[in-house]
Amino acid sequence: MSKLIKIDQTTALPVSPATLVQRALHALMAALPWAIIGGLLWAGLFIKPQPVGATVTPPLLERRDHFYGLALTPDGEVWASGSNGKILAFAADGQLRRLATPTERTLQDIAAWDSSHAVAVGNDGVVLFSLDGGRLWQAAANVPRSQIANKLNRVRIAAGGLAIATGEMGALLISHDYGQSWLRLREEEDVAWNDVAILDGGRLVVVGEFGRILRSDDLGQHWEAIEAPLPGSLMSVQFRDAQNGVAVGLEGALLVTSDAGRQWQNIDLGIGDHLFDVLWNPTQARWFATGSLGRWVSGSGEADSWKVGVLDDRNLSWHTRALAVGNDLWLAGADLGRWNGRRWSPLKP
């Protein structure tokens, strides 16, 4: 008879080394994801990142900047207003600083009455004013607005806190308190007014789209429409005295008047480049206009005195504003720079 052998189920059978290694690897792989998650949580809670290298501060003047307005302060600083609500102040000794503003809207123009009072206007109807020389800028409240378009193109100032802003949808706005409060001079209409000349005795001359010109002898209470000798849009107007003025516009338009803006004569410059701004330079006793593709125009006012040229054949930038500072002209637009009549010197970031 065969002998039965009873196996005790509680007795462990021998395990090979290979099996032990395999079991350890399985356990490690099962625990690895949880270990990684735990490590990331610990690092996020208890490890503070340390900066590597020096912090990079963006330059005040950047390549992407566009500037549209220029102003000269009584202490000789040149202020340039432009994209993203930026206002830069260039001191006579070359120092540069940025004036903090409460907006990121593009500022199309800027003006300063004295060492305390200044105003700036721009896109979406923004109006800023300063009562302390540009250290603090505040947004004007309750500025008249259109439901269609509200870009303000220009602001002109006169003594006693008077300011007039021009813009889209017939915007002609007036302030008597250094830009703090504003009223309409005319009802809203489908035209962009691009500039206004403020003359003595309450006389105003306004230019805009489609060659439209307005005159007022009583600070905007009554208006007279003036027939222009061309239909193109006029972008800027300025007077050197009560009678003699110049207006410039698109496609090389240049008009002159010698009777306070009642009649205008068209000057054929032989160019098609747009002209965006005009000024009277008392130092040189000449008019100067600037525009697209680096174009400049200069003349005494007589029909046969006008000359045209470009700032630099290598830099055909557009410029919307010109400002006479000493013997130089500052220009603002796609870039900023100075023109001495012979050499164009752009300010580089």
Can you spell out the DSSP letters for 181-236?
Answer: S-EESS---S--EEEEEE-GGG-EEEEEGGG-EEEESSTTSS-EEE--S--SPEEE
pTM, full prediction: 0.83
Residues 6 or more apart from 123 whose CB is under 8 A from it?
105, 106, 107, 108, 150, 151, 152
**pLDDT per position as a tens digit, 87-111:** 999 998 889 999 999 999 999 999 9
Q: Which amino acid appears at position 151 of this protein? A: K
Q: For residues 204 and 183, what is the distance between their CA atoms, to the nearest angstrom?
A: 16
pLDDT in tens, the chain (349 residues): 444 444 344 444 455 655 655 665 566 566 666 666 666 555 555 555 555 555 566 788 888 899 999 999 999 999 999 999 999 999 988 899 999 999 999 999 999 999 999 999 999 999 999 999 999 999 999 999 999 999 999 999 999 999 999 999 999 999 999 999 999 999 999 999 999 999 999 999 999 999 999 999 999 999 999 999 999 999 999 999 999 999 999 999 999 999 999 999 999 999 999 999 999 999 999 999 999 999 999 999 988 899 999 999 988 999 999 999 999 999 999 999 999 999 999 998 7
Task: Identify whether the C-beta of residue 120 lies closer than 8 Å to the C-beta of residue 107.
Answer: yes
The CATH number fitting domain 113-318, selected from 2.130.10.10, 2.40.420.20, 3.40.50.300, 3.30.70.270: 2.130.10.10
Which residues partner with 316 through β-bridges? Answer: none
